[in-house]
Every structure is written in C-alpha cells, then in structure tokens.
Amino acid sequence: MILTHIVACSENRVIGTQGGLPWDLPEDMKFFRDTTKGHIMIMGRKTFDSFNGKALPNRYHIVVTRDPSKQSFQSTDKSPVVFVSSLEEAVAHARPLTAQWGDEVFIIGGGEIYKQAFAKNLTDKVYLTLIHREFPGDTYYPEIDQNLFNLTERRDVELPIPFSFLTYLKK
Ligand SMILES: NC(=O)c1ccc[n+]([C@@H]2O[C@H](COP(=O)([O-])OP(=O)(O)OC[C@H]3O[C@@H](n4cnc5c(N)ncnc54)[C@H](OP(=O)(O)O)[C@@H]3O)[C@@H](O)[C@H]2O)c1
C-alpha cells in the first residue's frame, strides 16, 4: 500500500477557508479527479462535509471522525462511504480493499488529517499543487520535511495564476 497525500496549498501554506477552498483552479480539480478515480480516499469529517452531501463517483471514501456512530450516509457500491474513529483504523480498513481499489490510497485532507499522517509516519508520497500566491485562510498544510522527502517531479503552469504540480517521495 502506498499512502499519498493529494493537496493544493498557497505559498503561505493555506489550504482552506471557512470550510471550503480559497481558490477555483479547474486544472487542479481535474488533476484531483483523474488521480483519485477508482481509488480509496481517506479524509477528515470536515473535508467530507465540504462535499455538501455528495460522495464522489467511483471512489471508496473512508471518513475519520471521533464519533462514527453519529454519522450516517446513504452510500452505493460505486462510491462507498464508511466512518472510522482514527487514521490508523482508516489505514487498516483500506488495506484489504487495495486488491479491488488500487494499491495507492489517497489521503485527501484536511489540515488535521495531513498533519497527523506526517506525525504518525503514514505518508509515502505527496502530490502537492503549490499555488504561487498568498491567500488568507484558516487551515494549513505542514511544511514538508526535506530530510524525509525528495522532490522528484515538477510541472509549472502559468494560467489562470502561476502554480506548480510537485511530487515528493519518501527517501
Ligand atoms: N486545498 C486542499 O487540497 C484541501 C484538501 C482537503 C481539505 N481542504 C480544506 O481544509 C478544510 C478542512 O480541514 P480541517 O483541518 O478543518 O478538517 P479535517 O481534517 O477535514 O477534519 C477534521 C475532523 O476529522 C476528525 N478527526 C481529526 N482527527 C481525528 C482523530 N485523531 N481521530 C478521530 N477523528 C479525527 C474530527 O471529526 P469530528 O469532528 O466528526 O470528530 C475532526 O473534526 C476545509 O476548508 C477544506 O476545504 C483543502
């Protein structure tokens, strides 16, 4: 199993504001959709809430919440949604499903979940869209520890605002 963060952040590390994204970047949204399609996605409950009650098609959603019994969602075979009580439980739940849903499991945020994934050593790879602007916000992505991760790929985009698709791999 490969645990991969997929995240977009600004130069000042902002990823979110008031429960949503601070920007509208269609090319990055397409990258997110294309990359996660058919895979398992692990997320915090607040990030799941930001989908406004709609699970994404053809993805297996694992939502981390301190009280899974309080949560409910009408899911389908094509886009299952399950609730678990920790990041470790999310990874354990994902493991036997990788034969069907792919070996690369995406950690899709938000700030609390990315931070814990680094702290608990549950990160092998990062797809980081770095937006070369500063944005105001209330949720942040941690600095990537250059002692632990190598930048292995970079693709720069200029429009509608300059940003870069970066790939980091654990050393
Ligand atoms: N730019 C990006 O790439 C990107 C990606 C994802 C999200 N975002 C943005 O980030 C923001 C949301 O991030 P966030 O940090 O506020 O929230 P989050 O990480 O999405 O979710 C936090 C919630 O996860 C649960 N949780 C966290 N740690 C837990 C643990 N150890 N055990 C059990 N449950 C745990 C709790 O749910 P309960 O409260 O239910 O217990 C907590 O309230 C939004 O603005 C969203 O749009 C941006």
Statement: residue 123 has pLDDT above 90: yes
Place of tokens 């309080």: 70
Residue 115 CA to ligand 1 centre (angstroms): 10
Average pLDDT over residues 31-37: 98
Average pLDDT over residues 56-72: 93
Statement: residue 22 has pLDDT above 90: yes
Contacts of 155 (CB under 8 A, 6+ apart): 164, 165
Q: Is the CB of 50 under 6 A from ligand 1?
A: yes
Statement: residue 151 has pLDDT above 90: yes
> 75 - beta bridge partners?
none
Average pLDDT over residues 125-153: 98
Residue 86 CA to ligand 1 centre (angstroms): 12
CATH architecture of residue range(s) 2-160: 3-Layer(aba) Sandwich (3.40)
Q: Is the CB of 22 under 6 A from ligand 1?
A: no
Place of tokens 């985009």: 157
Q: Is the CB of 15 under 6 A from ligand 1?
A: yes
Bond into 110 cis (ω within 30): yes
